[in-house]
Structure 1
Amino acid sequence: MMELNLISKERNVEIVKYFFNENEVKEEEKRVIQALKQKADIPGFRKGKVPENILRMRLGEDYIRYSVAEKFIDKVAKEIVREKGDDLLLNPFVQDYKFDNGKLEIEFEVHYKPEVKLPDYKNLKLEIPKSEEENFEKYVESRLNELREKNVILEPKDGKIELGDFVKLNYRVLNEDGKEIYKSQTLDIVVRDDDLRPIVKEIIGGEKGKEIVFERTFEDEGKTKKFTYYVQIEEIYKRILPDLNDEFVRTVSKEFKTLEELRNSIREEGEKLYEYYKKEFLIEQALDKLALESELEISEKTMDRLVEMAIEKMKESGEYNEQLRKFDNDDEKLKEEVRNSYLNLFKTTYSVAKIAEKENIKVEESEIDEALKELAQAWNVSFERAKVMIKKDERLFDDIHEDLLESKVGEFLVENAEIVEIEPKVEDENRKNGESPDENSESNG
């Protein structure tokens, strides 16, 4: 009978040795020999009729022993998964095996799901920027301006392009050899001062029917490349925004009769949006803090295995070089990023699961149905079809369940947290200019 012995345990990893006696090995060897006879293609013998001594000489004893060990390894690995499957993080790995006086020893590395030590999750300290009256007013003005923009009047214009004009144009890009590498279709551009695209700046002062030429340089793998842009102005329009008054409101809306009514409605909309994003912001912050303050009992052996598997998967899919470039072609930096991603994922996942168990937080079937209704709309299928899809795809169901559970635990954390309002941080709203002459994009220039 198979025997096992726990050799060592380090956090979530056990090294277990399995022992098979001489009789077990002999019985398995007989089955292996018989299977090899059926497959062996040896001149002078029909398949299945090769004498055992000939087969052993032809294949070698090392190969036969390897084939026997492989059978036991497969059998034990399946048994470990069958018995411990729900508790395993990874499939078991073979560390070593050896034959000794007809007996067989196999050493397995078994990786269990790690334990997590929770922080004081009922007293997390969270911060939220104070809501300011001027922000709601800005939201109202922004939405009203959107309405005006949607109802703008375009009046054909002679003369030069100015800020605020609406312009139809096309352009082409030539490289240093004079070869055309890109040609746009007709583009619509509103000339705004905060639009930092070079093409917008260059066309100011241009006129209908005239061509504007300018050059741009880009750095590509340490080399400077120059490109020439040829812009043809097709049409110029003066944009006339309608006045904000009761008459305008009645024109664009059947629901409201006065500008004041519309303003109040937009204000309510802004307040609801603020409460929604405030809730989502706090949940995300609470989950981030939970992961940061939790302690994961996970072995470096597990982390090394996970990183190795992730890198190998990148290489197989052809994504490795692309990912490597993001980290200055430094393999160690990429591995560190993968390692940290796994750590954050596990901390969040196992912390959420543990809190859900302790606090009896569950995802109800009705909540899954509500989530499915939203997904069904996104997938453009019926709700019934969506239910069939998740029944067929267990992983998809698990993903939906985990997302909902994480959200419910996040709400629980926020409800029990100490929330402090802080002064909003001043952010730099300047847009960065990072365009390149991509021949597949019409937004360049």
Structure 2
Amino acid sequence: MKKQVNYKVNGEEWKEAKDKAFNKLVKKVKIDGFREGKVPRNVFEKKYGTGDIISEAMEDLVQKKYGEVIITEKLIPVVEPKLEIVKADDEGFEVNMTFILDPEVTLGEYKGLKVKKDKVKVTKEEVDHEVSHILDRYAELVSKDGKAEEGDTVVIDFKGFKDNEEFEGGSAEGYSLELGSHSFIPGFEEGVVGMKREESKDIELTFPEDYMAKELAGQKVVFNVTVHDIKKRVIPDLDEEFFKDLDMEGVSNKEELEKVVEEEIKAQKEREADNKFIEDLLEKASKNMKVEIDEEIIDAETDRMYKNFIEKLKMQGVTEELYFAYSGAKKEDIMKDMKKEAEKRVAYRYLLEAIVKAEEITISDKNAKDEVKKMADMYKMTEEDIMKELGSLEVVKYDLAMQKAIELLKENN
């Protein structure tokens, strides 16, 4: 929903706004022959023109008007207002301010939706697969005789040469490499397979055309490789010694381990089934409601999602530029996919807010404070730090109300 306000300023009000803007700008200006902040208006305008004064005056007046409109019209904008400048010169200015507001929501059927929740079943194959993963984590690397095979870990020295000259970044000593991990360029690991301890060998390779180091992309090179040790992975037996190392509460034999693993897989599947159940309920209920969501709200949610995505990359030590360079992905494609998800998120949010209102769901201060305490205990933080992260108790109340609306959908399905 949008509300447009036309705002015009001229005459004495515009003159006073420009005078105020000049007095603000002149404090930052230095011109030879004048003290800082003491440049006459005519000298300033001769050097810089009137554009900056007009822009500053307009910005101040728009900010003031923005606040006035919100208070007098009792508006709650959900994104930054759009500004369309109709006129801006020495005589005055005119601007159209478009306020983007929450849309009107008309709920449809949201009870008795008859959405089926997936049944959860754990197979023996799934349990065996997870147990094998646990055993693999406890595998030991043991030196062996004979030839290196795929799956073995070799300890090697290597030097890379291009045109008979050693190139930067192509050498290492005592490097542990798992054969078959594909952590080196194609052909390197395959070239080491079959080598024996203390054997040296030249491996001729060509770097991929799309290799990240442009000076090596598509180039022919030679790696001189020496194998110092060959180690094979030894998977432990499910014996008493293994279960002591595992140190898992209530697990001392194979049967008990399989039982715990089965319970963990089942719990994970239950969570996934519950999440899908909620998603299906929200999707069906949102299709039954009537709402027209402005594109600006979707775009704002998309931008928020993208910023969160970039922040998560930074936490992993990956910059935005580095991610796109290595992944080959395009920002516009990612934004396009995110926009689809943003449309769903925004629709679900308005659905749940409407249900909260219709069902008169309220959260007390006590319930909200109890939730903060629970979060503090879970994350090993103080309640004060949790509140700093959240901003206010109203945020907690909002989230709890939304959760109650979801529970209501589930219970009345």
The one-letter amino acid paired with 2:210 is D
SS in 2 for 1:174: strand
- Which residue of 371, 374, 394 maps to 1:370? 374
The residue number in structure 2 matching 1:140 is 127
Q: Deviations over 1:234-292 (max 9, x none)?
A: 32345544444578657755744544344334333333333233323433555566667
Residue 181 in 1 paired to residue 176 in 2? no
- Which residue of 129, 137, 158 maps to 2:145? 158
SS in 1 for 2:62: helix
Q: How far 1:37 sits from its partner (Å)?
A: 8.4
Residue 208 in 1 paired to residue 202 in 2? no
The residue number in structure 2 matching 1:8 is none
Q: How far 1:88 sits from its partner (Å)?
A: 0.7
SS in 2 for 1:283: helix
Q: How does 1:44-123 map to 2 (within 5 A)?
A: 68-81=57-70, 87-96=76-85, 98=87, 105-116=94-105, 118=107, 120-123=109-112
Note closer, same or farther for the CA distance 1:282–1:324 as it changes in structure 2 (3 Å cut).
Answer: farther
Q: How far 1:75 sits from its partner (Å)?
A: 1.4
Q: Root-mean-square deviation (CA), in Å?
A: 5.3
SS in 1 for 2:128: helix
Distance 1:250 1:325 in 2: 43
The residue number in structure 1 matching 2:5 is 16
Conserved in 2, the CA contact under 8 Å of 1:162 and 1:204?
yes
Identity %: 22
The residue number in structure 2 matching 1:236 is 230
SS in 2 for 1:366: helix
Q: How does 1:20-419 map to 2 (within 5 A)?
A: 24-25=13-14, 28=17, 68-81=57-70, 87-96=76-85, 98=87, 105-116=94-105, 118=107, 120-123=109-112, 130-133=119-122, 135=123, 137-149=124-136, 152=139, 155-162=142-149, 166-170=152-156, 172=158, 174=160, 176-177=162-163, 178=165, 179-184=167-172, 186=174, 188=176, 201-211=190-200, 213=203, 215=205, 217-220=207-210, 224-226=218-220, 228-244=222-238, 249=243, 255-284=250-279, 286-287=281-282, 296-300=291-295, 319=320, 336-337=336-337, 339-340=339-340, 342-359=342-359, 360=361, 362=363, 364-376=368-380, 383-384=381-382, 387-394=383-390, 409-417=405-413
Q: Deviations over 1:331-390 (max 9, x none)?
A: 6x57645644543442233333333333427573322332333334xxxxxx22xx3334
Distance 1:196 1:49 in 2: 69
Distance 1:326 1:80 in 2: 46
Note closer, same or farther for the CA distance 1:352–1:249 as it changes in structure 2 (3 Å cut).
Answer: same
Q: How far 1:16 sits from its partner (Å)?
A: 1.0
TM-score by length of 1: 0.62
Q: How far 1:89 sits from its partner (Å)?
A: 1.8
Conserved in 2, the CA contact under 8 Å of 1:13 and 1:302?
no
Distance 2:322 2:251 in 1: 57
Range 350-359 or range 34-43, more displaced? 34-43
Distance 2:75 2:146 in 1: 74
Q: How far 1:294 sits from its partner (Å)?
A: 6.2
The one-letter amino acid paired with 2:208 is F
Q: How far 1:17 sits from its partner (Å)?
A: 1.4
Distance 2:306 2:119 in 1: 43
Distance 2:275 2:99 in 1: 38
Distance 1:22 1:225 in 2: 72
Distance 2:399 2:390 in 1: 14
Range 43-52 or range 80-89, more displaced? 43-52
The one-letter amino acid paired with 1:161 is A
Conserved in 2, the CA contact under 8 Å of 1:162 and 1:191?
yes
Note closer, same or farther for the CA distance 1:170–1:127 as it changes in structure 2 (3 Å cut).
Answer: farther
SS in 2 for 1:297: coil
Conserved in 2, the CA contact under 8 Å of 1:38 and 1:48?
yes
TM-score by length of 2: 0.66
The residue number in structure 2 matching 1:435 is none
Distance 1:242 1:66 in 2: 74
Distance 2:27 2:344 in 1: 51
Distance 1:80 1:273 in 2: 50
Conserved in 2, the CA contact under 8 Å of 1:169 and 1:233?
yes
Conserved in 1, the CA contact under 8 Å of 2:369 and 2:393?
no
Q: How far 1:158 sits from its partner (Å)?
A: 1.5
Distance 1:201 1:236 in 2: 15
Q: Deviations over 1:299-345 (max 9, x none)?
A: 34666788899999x9xx995897699787696x5764564454344
Conserved in 2, the CA contact under 8 Å of 1:167 and 1:188?
yes
Distance 1:103 1:233 in 2: 81
Give the number of equivalent residue pairs.
389
Gaps of 5+ in 2: none
